[in-house]
Amino acid sequence: MPKVRGRTLRVLYSADEIAARNLALAGEIAAAGYTDLLVVSVLKGSFVFAADLIRALHGAGLAPEVEFISLSSYQAGTTSSGKVKLVRDIESDVRGRDVLLIDDILESGRTLAFARDLMLKRGARRVGVAILLEKPGKLAQEIKADHVGFIVPDLFVVGYGMDVGHAFRELPYVGVVETAKTARAGVRGSRVRKRVAWVRRDAAESRRKSRGRAGYRSRREP
Ligand code: IMP
Ligand code: MG
């Protein structure tokens, strides 16, 4: 297991697995029929995912415009403050346009619900949501992601842009920091591995099911 900052990391999704999933997601997004597409990366956590996904979108034949919005709900720790703050806004007018929000994790859904509602309030024609990770069972807001990379266990993950106190963003994989207790006992580790195996099966199943589904659910009908 890799060591970073003197801590042991348990890899949940390797760089190769993420790259393969990004290609699949790009194909899915290209097939979803977005027009005049503006991609909005929700900073900070999504910056690595967004950078890879937009290049995969190019490979899939799309030519989106790309913007950034900076929202904050987590403070410096690992629990949500429950409030979303607009730290830096996009510059583009979204009226009449299709917007694809890209974020790292959908957990309570507060961040993405805030961004989606803001775009719809400003007159976006359609707002899609692409996320790298979904933590199931934690939603506090009515929001469904249209394009999901992986369904992840309920663990605090880092890497691939995601941080704890701004550290670990540089990791090319998604992982969890092992605690001294889990490393000593080794118990949680096997439980984590089992849960990850289960979650991967679940993700494959949900991808199979989603194939027949409409590409988005957040469109505001005219
Ligand atoms: P939500 O508003 O509760 O859905 O929280 C989403 C945001 O919280 C994500 O965009 C992340 O930036 C952050 N977040 C949630 N879970 C984690 C985690 O496990 N690791 C790192 N950041 C997280
Ligand atoms: Mg985020």
| pLDDT given at position 83 | 84
- Higher-pLDDT residue of 112 and 81 is 112
Q: Is the pTM above the cut of 0.85?
A: no
| Residue 101 β-bridge partners | 40, 129
Domains of the chain: 3-210 (3.40.50.2020)
Q: Which residues line ligand 1 (CB under 6 A)?
A: 45, 73-74, 80, 103-111, 156-157, 162
Taking the centre of ligand 2 as the mean of its atom positions, its distance from the CA of residue 162, in whole angstroms, is 8
> Which pair of tokens denotes residue 72?
């904050």
For a substitution probing ligand 1, which of 9, 85, 107 has the most ligand atoms within 8 Å of its CB?
Answer: 107
Which of 26-30, 107-111, 151-155 reaches the highest mean pLDDT?
Answer: 26-30
Position 142 scores a pLDDT of 87
Pairing of strands 98-106, 80-88: unpaired
Atom number, ligand 1, closest to the C-alpha of residue 110: 2
Q: Ligand 1 centre from 106 Cα, in Å? A: 7
Range with lowest mean pLDDT among 99-103, 149-153, 207-211 = 207-211
Q: Classify residue 135 by burial, with Cβ atoms within 10 Å: 0-12, 13-18, 19+.
A: buried
Read off the pLDDT of residues 6-56 as tens digits, 9 standing for 90 and up: 999 999 999 999 999 999 999 999 999 999 999 999 999 999 999 999 999
Strand partners for 129: 101
Q: Is the pLDDT of residue 222 over 80?
A: no
Give the helix/strand (H/E) hosting 205. Answer: helix 187-210
Do 165 and 77 form a contact (C-beta atoms < 8 A)? Answer: yes
What pLDDT does 10 receive? 94
Give the mean model confidence (pLDDT) for residues 47-66: 98
Sheet holding 147-151, edge to edge: 80-88, 65-74, 37-43, 98-106, 126-134, 147-151
Q: In what order do the strands lie in the sheet with 157-158?
A: 3-4, 7-13, 174-177, 157-158
Within a 13 Å sphere around the CA of 125, how many CA atoms are in the beta-carbon half?
Answer: 9
Is residue 83 within 8 A of residue 73, CB to CB? The reply is yes
* Nearest ligand atom owner, CA of 74: 1
Atom of ligand 1 nearest to the CA of 42: 10
Q: Give the atom of ligand 1 at the shortest distance from the alpha carbon of 140.
A: 3
Å from CA of 21 to ligand 2 middle:
19
Quickly list DSSP for 83-138.
Answer: EEEEEE---S--TT-EEEEEEEEESSSHHHHHHHHHHHHTT-SEEEEEEEEE-TT-
Determine the pLDDT at residue 17.
98
Ligand 1, pocket-test mutation among 70, 74, 80, most atoms within 8 A of CB: 74
